[in-house]
Structure 1
Amino acid sequence: MRTPKFAILLSLAMMLLPLGLFAQDIKLPPINIKEYKLKNGLTVILHQDRSTPVVAVNMWYHVGSKNEAEHRTGFAHLFEHMMFQGSENYVDGWRAVDELGGNVNGTTNEDRTWYFEVVPANYLERVLYLEADRFGRLLPAMDQAKLDNQRDVVKNERRFRVDNVPYGTMGERIDELIYPVDHPYHHSVIGSMADLSAASLDDVKSFFKQYYVSNNTILVLAGDFDEKQARGWIEKYFGVFETGKPIDRPNPPMPQLKETIRQQYEDPFAKLERRAITWPGVRTYHKDEAPLDILSSILSSGRGSRLQGELVYGKELAQSIFAFDSTSEIGGQFQINAMARPGKSLDEIEAIVNAEIEKIQKDGVTADEVKRAVAAREASAIYSLQTVLGKSSQLADYSGYLNTPNYFQKDLDRYSKVTPEDVKRVANEYLTKNRVVMTYVPAKQPPPPAQADKPTSTETKKKDLALIAKQDAALPKAGADPKFTLPAIEKSKLSNGLNVWVVQHHELPIVSMNLVVDGGATAEDAAKSGAASMTASMLTQGTKTRSALQISNTLQSIGASVGANANWDSSNVSMTTLTKNLPAALDVYADVITNAAFPQGDFDTMKRRTMAGFLQRKANSQAIANRVFDKVVYGDQLYGREMSGSEESLKTLSRDDLAAFYAVNYKPNNATLIVVGDVTTASITPQLEKAFAGWKAGDVKSVKVDDQKMSAKPGIYLVDKPGATQSSVMIGEVGLSRTDPDYFSVQVINGILGGGMTGRLFQNLREDKGYTYGAYSRFSTMRAAGPFVASGEIQIVSTKEAVQEFLKEINGMRGAIPVTARDLDINKQKLIQRFPSGFETVGAISNQLSALVTYGLPDTYFNDYIKKIGAVSQKDLERVANKYLDGSKMAIVIVGDRSVIEPKLKELGMPITLLDTEGNLVSK
């Protein structure tokens, strides 16, 4: 299974995995593909999908960190950042795509660099024009200032992902031991700080000329487009470039370990011990990749897996354990990674892992274990075909690594052929005595203050507005607005009073259900904080008719998933299944909802795991900042509590408390069931009547949500995290509720301030100053007033300056930095143009409908949304800016190294209050 080690777009991680593990009779729906080459060698792949009026544009370059020169580690990824800094005919980066409401980003791994956009279908020509311009005309727009800025950004990304998080360096240390020094995978994708500092503008130019050439590039279009028109645009914009020189591909032998290597590190941020056992594996699409994937699933996927069953739920030695088969173009690894419970022994965990491996090597695995793993893979593969972006990325990978873009069915078939004997064979062949055993333990002493270089340039960059306006005018015009039909909601009610909403969506054989219960954390007793969340989590941990193990194994065997969670305003129980397995999945789903049992033993296990999770959270700066921010802003009010409960509340929370919460709230006449997918109301209603026949209506308790007011006084609230290389900064106050009439206006103004890569916060703190990897803002809305927050992970030495810039931009929205008519129009259009993409998958549609249920919004809401966003005026923005964006009234929560940041923070002249990781006062 191909697992990129370094991906910016984390939300696409599952889509980037190869499809696999189908039963032998499984056939995918037809996937139409056209492939051809331009005369210059550019590979083009076209896939039409007219289900939603969006199109994905995917530029796949066959270059990654394995192609980097000596002492230039991290350069491929740094270059990816440079590709967003403007080109000859459009110097203003990728603002033109973001302003369309498009999704734009890029990722780098060892083997390839991938850039993508998902945009409204009528803007395809514009995106192709922009992609072609940076493909062939990047260098005229490059300068030293851009390189210096993006180098600072990438360094902050390394701090954010690697240096300032627990266990962050584990992966790169394992790579250094698995792969020899001369192997291209020996170093990490993100590289070292020293090598990043050494990169020059000449390096940028030579790298571009060598690898960003037509014969090393794949262009994929997937979505709603006219083929003839698209071919014409591709020829027009990309056909003018010359073919590049042939590229040598590194092809070293697979690494071999001659002995077991053990290393241990003290981690300044870790709270729990963790150990990774790693073996050299296989390359992507190797004949043994499929059985190794199956082996990893048998070892750790689900409660019925060998290691989770014994170590997490049985002996309760591990907080978590997972096995995975990570494959890349010229190498791979098989790893088992375990985090110990507080006070438990990693050596004991490792001994059990070894015994289980030896048992598989001697006795093999069962046919049922293989069957369950195959079924889960089958379903995952079909689910991944729901989005045009997911399909485009897979097409590019198949083409790049196999020269066969239409490899979907063959990929699936190789998994269906895996036998128990194959799994036993690969366990013996690859999981040998020679391995790398990497252990991370909490540091005994606090780390020294972080040493961090200052950003290279913090000057606000002046843009040539006349040139930008001229280039804007030259961009290809939009085509006719695509037609988008909102899904029809078919409403009915079961005989027990359960409301049912059905939306038909027959593109793929998938059905999604979500039960929305009118009772979330707001409905729980304040002294029982966490009851709603734990009640939901316990639903799948055993019913009156099935054990937790039976639930897990049954769902895995049909490739279905059932999950439950609680938010402030509702509890949700969701299910996703293939249509053919709907009867079996619905049987389990209804059982989980109607026959909750809350077994004492499973409750005790979950409670202990949750308590260990609280300890683990104290290692994460962002988690600390989020918790402290809520407590500071809301104090003892509802939203000042932890939705998942606190250490104190969980100590007294009992199994009976969950049963009581369930009895009061989980009633059919207090819920709505949303069904989306390959069904009709006529076909599903009888099945639902049968499944929920024993669920009886009852009295419903209404819950009143008190108004939420700002609790804290303005000022700085500082949490000390010694040795931190970044400061987690959150600035904000109480905002508004979901049903407030200002909701639509704040969506627009937040887009201008901090809603994305073109927001003022991002442009100032990242693109101008290089203080952070990202800076954003948001209004979180619930039934009562949720918070407004602006946040970012800030380079430690720039904390004071970043706070100043945050406040400058927040306050500027009230007139000091005026909102222009263009700002207003562009950000309204972004929201309107992005709207259809929220209905691309069955899960997305279900989420949209769930919001209607939870907040009592009218059926006309989706049409009203577009109209109300379009009606927002300049005066509306002035009003909401004055009402919600006054920095002088906001709390500033900072989690960072006090010894480094406090002296300069004092220069701001604000009161500084010291808090612990739970938001409690500490003495100075």
Structure 2
Amino acid sequence: TAAAPAKRADARGQTPDGAAAALPAQLIAPKTDPRFQLPQVQRRKLSNGLEVLLVEHHELPVVSMNLLIKSGAAADQNDRAGLASLTAALLDEGTNTRSALDISNQLAAIGAQLGSGSGRDSSSVTLRTLERQIDKALEIYADVIVNPAFPKDELERARSSRLAQLSQLRDNADAVSDLVFASLLYGRKHPYGQPAIGDTASVSAVGDADLRRFYETYYRPNNAALIVVGDVTAASLMPKLERAFANWKSAPVPAVNLSTPPARERAAIYIVDKPGAAQSVISIGQIGVERATPDFFPLLVMNNILGGGFVSRVNLNLREDKSYTYGARTSFDFRRAAGPFTASAGVQTAVTKESVSEFLKELRGIRGEMPVSDRELEIAKQAIIRGYPRGFETPDQIAGRLSDVVLYGLPDDYFNNYIARVRAVIKDDITRVANRYLDPSRAAILIVGDRTVIEPGLRSLEGVGQTVTLLDAEGRDAGSSGGAGGRQ
């Protein structure tokens, strides 16, 4: 006779009739957690005030450097959004003595790579070089950092490219959602509410004097740290660094106002109309928590259970069970100040209302309506713990991870204790942080999709459908019905 079909368990390890599903053997008796020990972080300081963090890594004759500037897009002026991004992008496009082509050719001749970029809270300049070429590579690297020229022709080229990018992004529902959601949570005048890459008006307004002003204000050795990982020692490296950065001078650096806006009083729905869209891009969330929070590890595990992995609750629900989407997820964007928490998915237009309803159900569930099971907790811990060591395999990876130590003031042994901190999280921690940091009754609910199809269903959602606000693709009020627009 044919065997009875196996009963499929949900994310909490329950089959449809309520019976507990059999646990996979590897979860019943998990192997010992991997041991991880990062080599000692050696701290030094140059005479100009630049902090240096060195990790010796002698497996390959390679050296990675990451200069972290402790200012990023959050330091942009309100009418100059994108300035930090453009400043970083143009650093290696010419110095007082080298053209962009000179820099590229000289790096290629020694097999070195240099890059620059910026995020919300920081900017960075990276270098990867063979140890035997460190003198020449460091000469070029320091020249880019200390003597950028910001040539006008390179600015115009970068501006043209950025404006074309912005034009393309207006047709990308995911990009529109990211932009509008940030302005809903923080308001366009908050450092976290304006677009990090700028908008058409701000990018068009940036001049070479703006780049120079931003650079001279924030690119200072006392506002930076140099992370070095590779086949070097402090004794050999420090004299080289002193010579290379001798002309880079400290100066007062203004603080950035990162105050947290007040929480919204109630949940509300916002729609950006995209006529004819085959799917709706949903973003649901609120202002979350800063990276330095003592609740980081409970939040990390909780988010993995909720929406941080393929077998998370929201993905098993909306993708595997309901077939509404190719993927649903949740995330905390941990920053210097409280960053956003977001639950998101691109779903079929016809099931937009149902998808929002399921997201809200899962947010309520993790707070206690659907308690976390032992199985969920163990799966989440193993997913985090067993994937953790592979983030430190190369000098580049180690240098990148040490950026968190610099930017958020973490202890030097933080990564060595990471696995134990994850393992220590218990179910009560999950419930506690979910109730403290997640409140679906005050969430912003943004949908980028075909308004004529999705609005009637969204209005019928109990508790949130009374207020539907229409926004344009930049988050500005486009006409409301039953509510006010987003934060300004």
- Shared fold by TM > 0.5? yes
The answer to whether the 8 Å contact 1:797/1:901 transfers is yes
Aligned amino acid, residue 754 of structure 1: G
- Bigger drift between 641-650 and 575-584 goes to 575-584
Question: In structure 2, how many angstroms separate the alpha carbons of the residues matched to 1:846 and 1:463?
Answer: 50
Q: Corresponding residue for 1:462?
A: 16
Find 2:395's aligned residue among 813, 837, 842.
842
Cα drift, residue 475 of structure 1 = 7.3
Cα drift, residue 548 of structure 1 = 1.3
Query: What does residue range 742-891 of structure 1 map to in structure 2 within 5 Å?
Result: 742-891=295-444
Query: What does residue range 187-586 of structure 1 map to in structure 2 within 5 Å?
Result: 462=16, 466=20, 468-469=22-23, 472-473=24-25, 477-586=29-138
Question: In structure 1, how many angstroms separate the alpha carbons of the residues matched to 2:97 and 2:8?
Answer: 61
The answer to whether the 8 Å contact 1:726/1:796 transfers is yes
Residue 556 and residue 798 in structure 1: after superposition, are their counterparts in 2 closer, same or farther (change >3 A)? farther
Q: Summarize deviations over 1:580-611 as a string: whole Å, max 9, x none.
A: 43333222211110001111121122112211
Q: Corresponding residue for 2:247?
A: 694
Cα drift, residue 789 of structure 1 = 0.3
Question: In structure 1, how many angstroms separate the alpha carbons of the residues matched to 2:304 and 2:455?
Answer: 32
Residue 793 and residue 567 in structure 1: after superposition, are their counterparts in 2 closer, same or farther (change >3 A)? same
Q: Summarize deviations over 1:746-780 as a string: whole Å, max 9, x none.
A: 11111110010111001101111111111110011
Question: In structure 1, how many angstroms separate the alpha carbons of the residues matched to 2:349 and 2:97?
Answer: 54
Q: Corresponding residue for 2:226?
A: 673
Query: What does residue range 170-189 of structure 1 map to in structure 2 within 5 Å?
Result: none
Residue 544 and residue 870 in structure 1: after superposition, are their counterparts in 2 closer, same or farther (change >3 A)? same
Question: In structure 2, how many angstroms separate the alpha carbons of the residues matched to 1:551 and 1:609?
Answer: 21
Cα drift, residue 658 of structure 1 = 1.2
Q: Corresponding residue for 1:598?
A: 150
Q: Summarize deviations over 1:599-645 as a string: whole Å, max 9, x none.
A: 11211221122112111111111101100110111113221111222
Query: What does residue range 50-69 of structure 1 map to in structure 2 within 5 Å?
Result: none
Question: In structure 2, how many angstroms separate the alpha carbons of the residues matched to 1:545 and 1:89?
Answer: 73
Aligned amino acid, residue 921 of structure 1: D
Q: Summarize deviations over 1:401-420 as a string: whole Å, max 9, x none.
A: xxxxxxxxxxxxxxxxxxxx
The answer to whether the 8 Å contact 1:708/1:784 transfers is no
Q: Corresponding residue for 1:641?
A: 194
Question: In structure 2, how many angstroms separate the alpha carbons of the residues matched to 1:719 and 1:461?
Answer: 39
Q: Summarize deviations over 1:481-513 as a string: whole Å, max 9, x none.
A: 544322211111223222111112222332211
Aligned amino acid, residue 598 of structure 1: F
Cα drift, residue 826 of structure 1 = 3.6
The answer to whether the 8 Å contact 2:220/2:248 transfers is yes
Question: In structure 1, how many angstroms separate the alpha carbons of the residues matched to 2:406 and 2:394?
Answer: 19
Q: Corresponding residue for 1:921?
A: 477
Residue 175 of structure 2 corresponds to residue 623 of structure 1: yes
Find 2:456's aligned residue among 898, 903, 916.
903
Find 1:735's aligned residue among 268, 288, 312.
288
**Identity across aligned pairs (percent)?**
47
Question: In structure 2, how many angstroms separate the alpha carbons of the residues matched to 1:922 and 1:518?
Answer: 37
The answer to whether the 8 Å contact 2:9/2:15 transfers is no
Question: In structure 2, how many angstroms separate the alpha carbons of the residues matched to 1:852 and 1:568?
Answer: 16
Residue 657 and residue 769 in structure 1: after superposition, are their counterparts in 2 closer, same or farther (change >3 A)? same
Aligned amino acid, residue 477 of structure 2: L
Question: In structure 2, how many angstroms separate the alpha carbons of the residues matched to 1:465 and 1:473?
Answer: 18
Question: In structure 1, how many angstroms separate the alpha carbons of the residues matched to 2:341 and 2:203?
Answer: 28
Q: Summarize deviations over 1:181-235 as a string: whole Å, max 9, x none.
A: xxxxxxxxxxxxxxxxxxxxxxxxxxxxxxxxxxxxxxxxxxxxxxxxxxxxxxx
Question: In structure 2, how many angstroms separate the alpha carbons of the residues matched to 1:841 and 1:464?
Answer: 46
The answer to whether the 8 Å contact 1:511/1:675 transfers is yes
Residue 726 and residue 693 in structure 1: after superposition, are their counterparts in 2 closer, same or farther (change >3 A)? same
- Bigger drift between 775-784 and 529-538 goes to 529-538
Aligned amino acid, residue 473 of structure 2: T
Aligned amino acid, residue 878 of structure 1: T
Question: In structure 2, how many angstroms separate the alpha carbons of the residues matched to 1:93 and 1:874?
Answer: 20
Residue 273 of structure 2 corresponds to residue 720 of structure 1: yes
The answer to whether the 8 Å contact 2:274/2:449 transfers is yes
Question: In structure 2, how many angstroms separate the alpha carbons of the residues matched to 1:463 and 1:757?
Answer: 24
Question: In structure 2, how many angstroms separate the alpha carbons of the residues matched to 1:918 and 1:625?
Answer: 9
SS of 1:572 mapped into structure 2: strand
The answer to whether the 8 Å contact 1:541/1:547 transfers is yes
Q: Corresponding residue for 1:442?
A: none
Q: Summarize deviations over 1:274-300 as a string: whole Å, max 9, x none.
A: xxxxxxxxxxxxxxxxxxxxxxxxxxx
SS of 2:342 mapped into structure 1: strand
Cα drift, residue 479 of structure 1 = 4.7
Q: Corresponding residue for 1:144?
A: none
Gaps of 5+ in 1: 1-87, 100-459
Greater Cα radius of gyration, structure 1 or 2:
1
Question: In structure 2, how many angstroms separate the alpha carbons of the residues matched to 1:603 and 1:919?
Answer: 28
Question: In structure 2, how many angstroms separate the alpha carbons of the residues matched to 1:825 and 1:479?
Answer: 12
Query: What does residue range 8-157 of structure 1 map to in structure 2 within 5 Å?
Result: none
Aligned amino acid, residue 249 of structure 2: K
SS of 1:923 mapped into structure 2: strand
The answer to whether the 8 Å contact 1:675/1:846 transfers is yes
Question: In structure 1, how many angstroms separate the alpha carbons of the residues matched to 2:328 and 2:66?
Answer: 33
SS of 2:53 mapped into structure 1: strand
Aligned amino acid, residue 736 of structure 1: V
Question: In structure 2, how many angstroms separate the alpha carbons of the residues matched to 1:901 and 1:769?
Answer: 18
Cα drift, residue 860 of structure 1 = 2.7
Residue 781 and residue 792 in structure 1: after superposition, are their counterparts in 2 closer, same or farther (change >3 A)? same
Question: In structure 2, how many angstroms separate the alpha carbons of the residues matched to 1:91 and 1:816?
Answer: 23
Question: In structure 2, how many angstroms separate the alpha carbons of the residues matched to 1:559 and 1:923?
Answer: 56
Residue 145 of structure 2 corresponds to residue 589 of structure 1: no
The answer to whether the 8 Å contact 1:569/1:783 transfers is yes
Cα drift, residue 480 of structure 1 = 4.8
Question: In structure 2, how many angstroms separate the alpha carbons of the residues matched to 1:93 and 1:553?
Answer: 58
SS of 1:706 mapped into structure 2: coil
Aligned amino acid, residue 788 of structure 1: F
Residue 577 and residue 821 in structure 1: after superposition, are their counterparts in 2 closer, same or farther (change >3 A)? same
Cα drift, residue 794 of structure 1 = 0.7
Question: In structure 1, how many angstroms separate the alpha carbons of the residues matched to 2:26 and 2:88?
Answer: 54
Q: Corresponding residue for 1:632?
A: 184
The answer to whether the 8 Å contact 2:37/2:416 transfers is no
Residue 678 and residue 465 in structure 1: after superposition, are their counterparts in 2 closer, same or farther (change >3 A)? farther
Task: Let me know the Cα RMSD of the aligned residues.
Answer: 2.7
SS of 1:640 mapped into structure 2: coil
Aligned amino acid, residue 37 of structure 2: T
Instruction: Give the TM-score, by structure 1 length.
Output: 0.49
SS of 1:908 mapped into structure 2: coil
Cα drift, residue 864 of structure 1 = 4.1
Question: In structure 2, how many angstroms separate the alpha carbons of the residues matched to 1:94 and 1:719?
Answer: 33
